[in-house]
Structure 1
Amino acid sequence: MGQIGNEVARILTKTFPDKVRMCCLSAVAAGSKTHVDIFRKARAVIAINGCQLMCASKVLREKGIAPTYEIVVAKEGVDKLPTLDFDEEDVQRIANKISTEFIQKFQQ
Structure 2
Amino acid sequence: MTKILADKPLVYACSGCSNVAQLANDVALTLDRTGVMQMSCIAGVGGNIKSIVKLAKSGRPILALDGCKLNCVKQSLALQQITPTWHIELTQLGYKKQEQVDCDLADSYRLLQYIYQTTLHTSLSKLN
**TM above 0.5, one fold?**
yes
2:75 alignment counterpart:
58
> Partners in 2 of 1:101 and 1:11 — Cα distance?
17
1:96 aligns with 2:113: yes
Q: Superposition RMSD on alpha carbons, in Å?
A: 1.3
Mapping for residues 1-108 of structure 1, pairs under 5 Å: 1-15=20-34, 17=35, 19-108=36-125
Secondary structure at the residue paired with 1:47? strand
Identity among equivalent positions (%) equals 27
> Partners in 2 of 1:29 and 1:77 — Cα distance?
27
Shift of 1:107: 2.1
What runs of 5+ residues in structure 1 fail to find an aligned partner? Answer: none
Secondary structure at the residue paired with 1:41? coil
> Partners in 1 of 2:92 and 2:104 — Cα distance?
15
What runs of 5+ residues in structure 2 fail to find an aligned partner? Answer: 1-19
State TM-score, norm by structure 2: 0.76
Shift of 1:41: 1.1
State TM-score, norm by structure 1: 0.89
Shift of 1:84: 4.9
Equivalent pairs, count: 106
> Partners in 2 of 1:78 and 1:45 — Cα distance?
22
Are the counterparts in 1 of residues 66 and 90 from structure 2 also a CA contact under 8 Å? Answer: yes
> Partners in 1 of 2:102 and 2:119 — Cα distance?
27
Shift of 1:14: 2.6
Are the counterparts in 2 of residues 3 and 84 from structure 1 also a CA contact under 8 Å? Answer: no
> Partners in 1 of 2:25 and 2:101 — Cα distance?
11
Are the counterparts in 1 of residues 68 and 97 from structure 2 also a CA contact under 8 Å? Answer: no
> Partners in 2 of 1:54 and 1:81 — Cα distance?
16
Amino acid at match of 1:10: L
